[in-house]
C-alpha cells in the first residue's frame, strides 16, 4: 500500500515523486511509455538534438523552480540566450512581438496596421465580447487578427477561434495604441515591455531532456515505466490502480479525458470530460544550411501547414548546425507532404497530447472534475492534471505548491 500513486512521469510526475519522497512518503509513479519525460524528451538523430515534444526552452519567474533545477543540473551546464524569435508576415520576417515591431514592415503596411489598431473595438468603446475570435478582433483590430492571430492560432490549436474561451489571453499581445505609434516613430521597440521571457536557458548537452535526466536520476526506482493506467477504482479505504497498485491518494498528471473509462465512465461528469480536449502536434526534422541567428519563427501563412520552425543549431550547442524542425498540428499534417528545399523529413514524431485546448467552458469543466475527485483523494496537478496552458516551469511550480499544501493540511 502506497501513500501516493502518481499517474504519469513527465516533469510534473517526476517533481511530485521527488518532493513527496523527500517528505518521507511512500510513492510510486506509473508511466505508460518505456521512459520518463513526457513532453520534455529529446532524441539524438543523425547528429541533431531534437526535442520531440516541440520547441522547449527553460525560464521561469519562480526562483524556487530555478533553485530546484540548478540544484540537480548546475547552471554552468546551460547556455543562456537572448531570445531571437521572429514572425513571418507575407514575405517579411519581423521580430516578435508583432505589436512592438510593426515599424519593421514596409510603410504602406505599417499604415494599414496602425489604422486598424486605432479603430479596434476597445478604442471605439464597444463592449468586451466573450469568445476568442471576437475578443482579439476587439482588442487588436482586424489587421493583426487577419494577418497573424487568427491564422496562426487556427493552425496551432486545430479548432476555430470562435470555439475558444478568453481565459488564457495573458498569452496574447497587449496592444497599447500609444506604444505602437511610439515604436513606429522611433523605429525601435522597448524590450522592457516584452510580453514573454526575453532570455532562456538551454542545456549545453542532451537537449531539454537533460533537465528531466537530472531531476529523474534518483527517482528511477520509484517510476514504473510501461504501466499504462487503465483502471482507477475507489474501495472503502484505498484507491486501486490497474487492479494491483493500492494507495490512500492518487495524483493524476495526465489528460483527464483519457481516464474517463478508467474511472468507470462517471456519467454525471460526462459533458465535463468531453470539454477536456487536447491537440496533437507533429515535429518534423529537416537538414538545411542557414546563416541566420533566429531561434524560432512563427508562421501564420495559411498556405503552409506548419505554425512554427526552429533553428536547432542556434540554441543546442551539441547539435549539427544544419538542423531545422517544424511543428504542425496533426490536422494539417499529411505524411510526406512537408518538404524543405524538396527534401523530406529526416525524422518525425507525433505528440498525442500537446496543448490543452481552451474550448469554451473548459475552465468550469476541469473545476467540476477536480472538485468531485479531490475530496475522495484523487487530485490533478500540472498541465494536464489542471488542464491549463502551463509551461514546464509552471508545472514544476504547481507540483511544489501541491506538496506544500499537504504540509498545511497536516
Ligand atoms: C510544442 C510545445 C512546446 C513547448 N514549449 C515549452 C517551452 O519552451 N518551455 C517550457 O517550459 N515548456 C514548454 N512546453 C510545455 C511543457 O512541455 C509542459 O508544460 C510540461 O512538459 C508538462 O509536463 P507534465 O508532466 O505535466 O505532462 P507530460 O510531459 O505530458 O507528461 C505526462 C506523462 O503521462 C504519461 N501518461 C499519459 N497517459 C498515461 C496513462 N494512462 N498511464 C500512465 N502514464 C500516462 C505520458 O506518457 C507522459 O509521460 C511546450 C509544450 C509543447 C507541446
> pLDDT value at position 170?
65
Q: What is the mean pLDDT of residues 379-408?
A: 95
For residue 295, being part of any structural domain is answered with no
Yes or no: say if 9 and 216 are a contact pair by the CB < 8 Å rule.
Answer: yes
- What is the percent of the chain where pLDDT is above 70? 97
d(CA 380, CA 384): 8
Please check whether residues 183 and 208 belong to one and the same domain. Answer: no
Cβ–ligand 1 distance for 57 under 6 Å, the answer yes
Please check whether residues 183 and 225 belong to one and the same domain. Answer: no
Taking the chain, what is the end-to-end CA distance rounded to the nearest angstrom? Answer: 20
For a substitution probing ligand 1, which of 7, 8, 387 has the most ligand atoms within 8 Å of its CB? 8
Please check whether residues 9 and 145 belong to one and the same domain. Answer: no
Please check whether residues 227 and 261 belong to one and the same domain. Answer: yes
d(CA 286, CA 328): 13
For residue 321, being part of any structural domain is answered with no
Q: With 70 as the cut, is the pLDDT of residue 172 above it?
A: no
Neighbouring C-beta atoms of residue 267, cutoff 10 Å = 9
How many angstroms separate the alpha carbon of residue 332 from the centre of ligand 1? 21
Please check whether residues 368 and 268 belong to one and the same domain. Answer: yes
For residue 303, being part of any structural domain is answered with no
Ligand 1 atom closest to the CA of 327, numbered from 1: 1
Cβ–ligand 1 distance for 232 under 6 Å, the answer no
> pLDDT value at position 407?
75
Please check whether residues 70 and 177 belong to one and the same domain. Answer: no
If you average pLDDT over every residue of the chain, what do you get?
93
| H or E stretch covering 280 | none
Please check whether residues 15 and 138 belong to one and the same domain. Answer: no
For a substitution probing ligand 1, which of 384, 391, 398, 401 has the most ligand atoms within 8 Å of its CB? 391
* Ligand 1, atom 35, residue with closest C-alpha: 8
Yes or no: say if 306 and 327 are a contact pair by the CB < 8 Å rule.
Answer: yes
For residue 83, being part of any structural domain is answered with no
d(CA 206, CA 218): 18
Q: What is the mean pLDDT of residues 213-223?
A: 98
Parallel, antiparallel, or unpaired: how do β-strands 27-30 and 2-7 relate?
parallel
Q: With 80 as the cut, is the pLDDT of residue 173 above it?
A: no
Q: What is the mean pLDDT of residues 129-147?
A: 89
d(CA 288, CA 270): 47
| Helix, strand, coil percent values for the chain (each to nearest 5) | 40, 20, 40
Please check whether residues 261 and 398 belong to one and the same domain. Answer: yes
> pLDDT value at position 341?
76
Ligand 1 atom closest to the CA of 259, numbered from 1: 41
Please check whether residues 108 and 69 belong to one and the same domain. Answer: no
| Residue 239 lies in domain | 2-41+63-78+204-278+356-409
Q: What is the mean pLDDT of residues 23-27?
A: 96
Cβ–ligand 1 distance for 356 under 6 Å, the answer no
Distances (CA, A) of 367 to 259, 270, 372, 397: 16, 14, 8, 19
Cβ–ligand 1 distance for 380 under 6 Å, the answer no
Cβ–ligand 1 distance for 54 under 6 Å, the answer yes
Using DSSP, state whether 250 is helix, strand or coil: strand
* Ligand 1, atom 7, residue with closest C-alpha: 56
Q: Which of 191, 216, 234 is the last residue of a domain?
A: 191
Parallel, antiparallel, or unpaired: how do β-strands 223-224 and 199-203 relate?
unpaired
For residue 261, being part of any structural domain is answered with yes
Neighbouring C-beta atoms of residue 48, cutoff 10 Å = 24
| Digit-coded pLDDT (tens) for 296-353 | 999 999 999 999 999 999 999 999 999 999 999 999 997 666 778 778 899 999 999 9
| Digit-coded pLDDT (tens) for 262-280 | 999 999 999 999 999 999 9
Yes or no: say if 171 and 355 are a contact pair by the CB < 8 Å rule.
Answer: no
Please check whether residues 26 and 133 belong to one and the same domain. Answer: no
* Ligand 1, atom 27, residue with closest C-alpha: 10
Side-chain half-sphere of 298: how many Cα atoms within 13 Å? 21
Cβ–ligand 1 distance for 140 under 6 Å, the answer no
Residue in 310, 277, 224, 242 with CA at minimum distance from that of residue 29: 224
List 202's β-bridge partners, or say none.
79
Ligand 1 atom closest to the CA of 258, numbered from 1: 41
Q: Which of 132, 162, 191 is the last residue of a domain?
A: 191
Q: What is the count of structural domains for the chain?
A: 2
For a substitution probing ligand 1, which of 155, 254, 281, 325 has the most ligand atoms within 8 Å of its CB? 254
Yes or no: say if 85 and 189 are a contact pair by the CB < 8 Å rule.
Answer: no
Cis peptide, bond prior to residue 20, ω within 30 of zero? no
List 223's β-bridge partners, or say none.
29
pLDDT band, very low/low/confident/very high, at 178 (cuts 50, 70, 90)? confident
Please check whether residues 177 and 226 belong to one and the same domain. Answer: no
Q: What is the mean pLDDT of residues 134-163?
A: 92
For a substitution probing ligand 1, which of 392, 394, 397 has the most ligand atoms within 8 Å of its CB? 392
For residue 101, being part of any structural domain is answered with yes
Neighbour-count burial of 325, counting CB atoms closer than 10 A to its CB (0-12 exposed, 13-18 middle, 19+ buried): buried
> pLDDT value at position 155?
94
Sign of CA dihedral 407, 36, 52, 307: negative
Cβ–ligand 1 distance for 147 under 6 Å, the answer no
Q: Which of 191, 224, 241 is the last residue of a domain?
A: 191
For residue 336, being part of any structural domain is answered with no
Cβ–ligand 1 distance for 395 under 6 Å, the answer yes
* Ligand 1, atom 2, residue with closest C-alpha: 54
Please check whether residues 185 and 105 belong to one and the same domain. Answer: yes
For residue 297, being part of any structural domain is answered with no
> pLDDT value at position 335?
64
Residue in 160, 188, 193 with CA at minimum distance from that of residue 176: 193
CATH no. for residue 257? 3.50.50.60
pLDDT band, very low/low/confident/very high, at 5 (cuts 50, 70, 90)? very high
d(CA 311, CA 297): 9
Q: With 70 as the cut, is the pLDDT of residue 174 above it?
A: no
Amino acid at each position: 500500500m502506497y501513500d501516493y500513486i502518481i499517474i504519469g512521469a513527465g516533469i510534473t510526475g517526476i517533481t511530485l515523486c521527488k518532493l513527496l519522497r523527500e517528505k518521507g512518503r511512500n510513492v510510486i509513479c506509473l508511466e505508460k511509455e518505456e521512459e520518463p519525460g513526457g513532453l520534455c524528451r529529446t532524441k539524438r538523430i543523425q547528429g541533431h538534438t531534437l526535442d520531440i515534444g516541440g520547441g522547449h526552452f527553460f525560464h521561469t519567474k519562480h526562483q524556487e523552480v530555478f533553485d530546484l533545477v540548478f540544484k540537480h543540473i548546475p547552471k554552468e551546464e546551460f547556455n543562456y540566450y537572448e531570445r531571437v524569435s521572429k514572425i513571418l508576415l507575407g514575405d517579411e520576417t519581423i521580430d516578435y512581438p508583432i505589436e512592438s515591431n510593426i515599424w519593421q514592415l514596409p510603410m504602406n503596411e505599417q499604415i494599414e496596421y496602425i489604422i486598424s489598431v486605432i479603430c479596434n473595438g476597445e478604442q471605439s468603446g464597444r463592449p468586451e465580447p466573450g469568445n476568442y475570435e471576437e475578443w482579439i478582433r476587439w482588442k487588436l483590430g482586424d489587421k493583426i487578427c487577419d494577418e497573424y492571430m487568427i491564422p496562426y492560432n487556427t493552425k496551432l490549436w486545430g479548432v476555430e477561434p470562435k470555439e475558444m474561451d478568453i481565459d488564457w489571453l495573458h498569452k496574447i499581445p497587449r496592444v497599447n495604441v500609444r506604444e505602437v505609434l511610439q515604436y513606429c516613430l522611433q523605429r525601435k521597440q522597448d524590450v522592457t515591455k516584452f510580453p514573454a521571457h526575453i532570455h532562456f536557458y538551454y542545456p549545453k548537452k542532451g537537449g531539454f531532456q537533460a533537465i528531466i535526466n537530472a531531476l529523474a536520476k534518483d527517482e528511477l526506482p520509484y517510476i514504473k515505466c510501461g504501466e499504462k493506467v487503465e483502471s482507477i477504482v475507489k474501495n472503502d479505504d484505498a484507491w486501486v490502480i490497474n487492479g494491483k497498485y493500492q494507495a490512500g491518494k492518487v495524483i493524476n498528471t495526465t489528460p483527464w479525458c483519457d481516464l474517463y473509462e478508467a474511472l468507470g465512465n462517471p456519467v454525471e461528469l460526462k459533458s465535463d470530460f468531453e470539454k477536456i480536449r487536447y491537440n496533437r502536434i507533429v515535429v518534423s526534422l529537416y537538414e538545411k544550411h542557414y546563416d541566420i541567428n533566429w531561434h524560432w519563427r512563427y508562421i501564420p501563412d495559411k498556405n503552409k501547414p506548419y505554425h512554427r520552425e526552429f533553428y536547432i543549431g542556434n540554441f543546442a550547442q551539441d547539435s549539427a548546425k544544419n538542423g531545422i524542425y517544424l511543428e504542425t498540428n496533426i490536422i494539417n499534417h499529411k505524411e510526406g507532404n512537408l518538404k524543405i528545399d524538396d527534401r523530406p523529413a529526416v525524422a518525425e514524431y507525433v505528440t498525442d497530447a500537446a496543448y490543452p485546448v481552451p474550448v469554451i467552458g473548459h475552465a468550469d469543466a476541469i473545476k467540476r472534475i477536480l472538485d468531485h475527485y479531490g475530496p475522495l483523494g484523487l487530485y490533478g496537478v500540472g498541465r494536464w492534471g489542471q488542464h491549463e496552458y502551463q509551461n514546464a516551469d509552471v508545472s514544476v511550480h504547481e507540483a511544489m505548491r501541491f506538496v506544500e499544501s499537504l504540509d498545511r493540511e497536516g
